[in-house]
Amino acid sequence: MKILVLNCGSSSAKYQLFDMANEEVVLKGLVEKIGEARPVMIHEWGDKKETQEVDAKDHVDALNLIRDAVLDPARGGSADSAEIAAVGHRVVHGGEKFVASSLITKEIEEIIREYFSLAPLHNPPNMEGIRAAKKFFPMVPHVAVFDTSFHQTMPPKAFLYAMRYDMYEKYRIRRYGFHGTSHRYVAERAATLLGTGHDGFTGITCHLGNGCSLAAVQNGKSVDTTMGLTPLEGVPMGTRSGDIDPAIIFHFAETLGMELSAINKLLQKESGLKGVSGISNDLRDVEAAAAAGNERALLAAEVYGYRVRKYIGAYMAVLQGTNAIVFTGGVGQNGVLMRERIVGGLAHLGIKMDPARNQSPSKNSHGEFDIAAEDSPIRIFVIPTNEELMIAHDTAEIASKAKA
């Protein structure tokens, strides 16, 4: 069974084709700058890679290009479209109506549209990708895998905001959480490493990159997470502020005369590592500047690490028992110094890092490694995320049931 996985953004369409017999990536790529002056397609298969300018006025054009590549044997694709058993789609917001991935029907499409207002930058292009893919792969099942579904096991005491209750009843204003596919994948891998089984894993998963979120996972289920109604809430990120006093927004508007659009831009695009350091949203640039003596860069890195550490402490209180702390994402996987900042002072909580393992890890075949000291009661895993494989798994399972 071959599964095509699609992740459509506002101006891009990423794709991977999996052979589920061995869970290998047959080919992958993306079409970027869709609708702009000079769109580009990057396509990779085996040890080959091609980059070319293409005509992609919209997602239909982009999916047409992807279909041609996926079905081209000269570019690593399948000669027969029947070899592709199903298409899996990443959908960011599924609200409260999806606790798991779902076969896409007309009713499901309407529900995805309902959440356009909660994810205006993500759900509309996700929907465009679904419509275009159905046009080019009309005879196979299409499956939606939602970023929010993993977190729908949170109890009301965790997901409700302490505001007037009718705002939740009428408008569904609540914490939803994101990066769910990533949190689910690394939680399952951590369970495998520990030998607990998925239902036996209790720990904290830290997806740290340009976007950042943590999740408290109890017996394999999310019981709390840092992102909220939108991905802005939680820990500081590359350009997002994370948690702030909400009255700051009124201060900006009423005292400084800022427009709401300008405030939104400030919090979404001009804050986080970039805003504090004044240098970059990339932790590598910030760390390099800090090492060279830039005090604001050092402060940015310290704020980032401190806030992640604070949430780890909070979630340990929530879980009342922890098997492991898991790091993933670009920063989580590669930020050696940042991992030290985050967990280096938590030995009193049972989180003991081995600095040598952190610096020079011994990786398994999945690229995973443990940086905890031998006598640490809580393991510290670094696990590369693989959201696309998680989407492929769900898609293959649902497609098989649909065809049965």
Residues 89, 222: one domain?
A: no
pLDDT digits 0-9 by tens, 74-101: 999 998 888 999 999 999 999 898 889 9
Residues 131, 228: one domain?
A: no
Residue 378 lies in a domain: yes
**Cβ atoms of residues 72 and 141 within 8 Å:** no
Rg, C-alpha atoms of the chain = 22
Residue 385, helix vs strand vs coil: coil
Residue 121 lies in a domain: yes
pLDDT digits 0-9 by tens, 350-400: 999 999 999 999 999 999 999 999 999 999 999 999 999 999 999 999 999
Residues 135, 229: one domain?
A: no
Give the end of a domain, one of 111, 146, 181: 146
**147 flagged as catalytic:** yes
Pull the structure tokens for residue 355: 């600095």
Quote the pTM value: 0.93
Residues 211, 350: one domain?
A: yes
pLDDT above 90 for 310: yes
Phi then psi for residue 302, to 5 deg, are -70, -40
Residues 366, 296: one domain?
A: yes
Q: What is the mean pLDDT of the chain?
A: 95
Residue 399 lies in a domain: no
Residue 179 lies in a domain: no
Residues 204, 140: one domain?
A: no
Residue 23 lies in a domain: yes
Residues 15, 126: one domain?
A: yes
Q: Cα separations (Å) of 53 from 32, 38, 65, 224?
A: 10, 6, 11, 43
pLDDT digits 0-9 by tens, 1-57: 899 999 998 889 999 999 999 999 999 999 999 999 999 999 999 999 999 999 999
Residue 132 lies in a domain: yes
Residue 158 lies in a domain: no
Residues 31, 96: one domain?
A: yes
Residues 142, 6: one domain?
A: yes
Cα 200 to Cα 307: distance, rounded to the nearest angstrom:
28
Cα 301 to Cα 273: distance, rounded to the nearest angstrom:
7
Q: Cα separations (Å) of 360 from 131, 282, 363, 370?
A: 46, 22, 9, 11
pLDDT above 90 for 118: no
Q: Can you give the CATH number for the domain in which 41 is found?
A: 3.30.420.40
Residues 305, 225: one domain?
A: yes
Residue 310 lies in a domain: yes
pLDDT digits 0-9 by tens, 201-260: 999 999 999 999 999 999 999 999 999 999 999 999 999 999 999 999 999 999 999 999
**Cβ atoms of residues 321 and 350 within 8 Å:** no
Residues 224, 77: one domain?
A: no
- Structure confidence at residue 404 (pLDDT): 65
Domain count, the chain: 2
Domain limits for position 130:
2-146
* Per-position b or e across 185-213, b if 16+ CB within 10 A of its CB: bbbbbbbebbebeeeebbbbbbbbbbbbb
Residues 248, 142: one domain?
A: no
Q: Which is catalytic among the residues 19, 47, 61, 147?
A: 147
